[in-house]
Amino acid sequence: MSKTVTIRLTEEEYILFAKAAEAVKRPISNLINYLARQKLEEDLFVDQIEMDEILGNQKLVESMRKGSKDAKLRKGVFVDV
């Protein structure tokens, strides 16, 4: 089931989205949905090439396993950056 989200845009932001939506012949809401989904996929998910590179680095994999185990045991210090 679809959900509705309300966002607040400045006049300049609205005009920017309206022009972009018109250029690609989409409603503004559809354009925002499309762009948000693309950004999430780019930022949150690793592509297959990058995943192969990570899994191919045995030293990195072992380090991540050790870090995961240490975190489960609450070993170490949390560093807030």
- Express each pLDDT in 6-64 by its tens digit: 999 999 999 999 999 999 999 999 999 999 999 998 888 888 898 899 999 999 999 99
Within 13 Å, how many C-alpha atoms sit on residue 50's CB side? 6
| pLDDT value for 10 | 97
Among 32, 56, 57, 54, smallest CA distance to 45 is for 54
Report residue 3's pLDDT band, with 50, 70 and 90 as the boundaries.
Answer: very high
Whether the Cβ atoms of residue 31 and residue 17 lie closer than 8 Å to each other: yes
The predicted model scores a pTM of 0.57
